[in-house]
Amino acid sequence: MSRSQTTLKTSVSIEGVGLHSGHPVRTVFRPAPAGHGIVFRRLDRDGAEIPARVGSASTFDYATTLSSGGVSVGTVEHVLSAAYGEGLDNCSIELDGPEIPILDGSALPFVRLFHAAGFERLDVPVTPLAVNQPVEVSRDSRGVSFRPDGPGLTITYEIEFRHPVVGRQELTVAVKPEEYSSKIAPARTFGFAREVEALRSRGLARGGSLQNAVVLDETGILSGPLRFRDEFVRHKVLDLIGDLALLGAVLDGHIHARKAGHALHIEFARALARAASSSPAESASAAEQPRRRASSRR
Ligand SMILES: [Zn+2]
């Protein structure tokens, strides 16, 4: 039996700067009805709506951006990760700038905000994404694979960086709210100091600082103590959950990622959406409109 869809009990807001744009932005989270899903609204662009859907995703190496009708919203992966991880299905996210604020570089501020608002259960079940066969995407030694052995979603992630603080890290975690908020949400984004200048010359990381990322130099950490010894792989799990949230449905199965990033995550999400739409089960367009289907079936 699927759980009920949820939304927030009340509106809450948070302010900060965008990691890449450096622009200050205010973000307001409002309750939304069953079937609405997560939808961003750019108040500075006449309220243009950008649904959190994999079809509107474009990525570069360091973040996931959504675009719809010529309007975009950047760095959506941490807030979407918090929503999926905590089981928040329906929310209108208003912002007055081009990018979700980076805050401390983790998903924890969003989780705390959702908890402060409280969750409202709605009288409509969530729709699981119906994928009954294994799915895999890979590039050389990098890859992401899915096996349909639920119930629930389990993620195994492996990373390897030639750095004394990182090295090889592997984590397996069950994606449930209590596990998510304690083990995954606090893990911060990370980057290498030598890459920062290159990023800035491309107009990226302008809001990045030692306060909102784990910054590594050649041998150590510039930004103070880690929150977990394996904070790096935990953040990769956080990012993957955020990118998979663009499917707009609940996943049941085991996902195994190796040295992946946003581009491969999104390619994998698209492969899952195709597999769901070709599945003989009920889900002809589950990846496109799962929650609207759920509400229209009621
Ligand atoms: Zn991230």
β-pairing, 167-174 vs 57-60, is unpaired
Distance 36 CA to ligand 1 centre (A): 25
Q: What is the pLDDT of residue 278?
A: 79
179 Cβ neighbours under 8 A, 6+ residues apart: 173
Q: What is the pLDDT of residue 206?
A: 79
Q: What is the pLDDT of residue 286?
A: 42
Where the chain has pLDDT below 70, the residues are 1, 60-61, 279-298
Catalytic residue positions, numbered: 262
Residue intervals of the chain classified under CATH 3.30.230.20 are 4-127+287-292
Distance 234 CA to ligand 1 centre (A): 10
Distance 249 CA to ligand 1 centre (A): 21
Which residues have a beta carbon within 5 Å of ligand 1, which is an ion? 189, 239
Distance 235 CA to ligand 1 centre (A): 6
Q: What is the pLDDT of residue 280?
A: 61
Domain 4-127+287-292: CATH superfamily, name plus number: lpxc deacetylase, domain 1 (3.30.230.20)
Q: What is the pLDDT of residue 74?
A: 92
Distance 282 CA to ligand 1 centre (A): 33
The third-level CATH classification (topology) of the domain covering 135-277 is lpxc deacetylase, domain 1 (3.30.1700)
Q: What is the pLDDT of residue 295?
A: 37
Residue intervals of the chain classified under CATH 3.30.1700.10 are 135-277
Distance 206 CA to ligand 1 centre (A): 16
Distance 271 CA to ligand 1 centre (A): 21
Q: What is the pLDDT of residue 285?
A: 41
Distance 211 CA to ligand 1 centre (A): 14
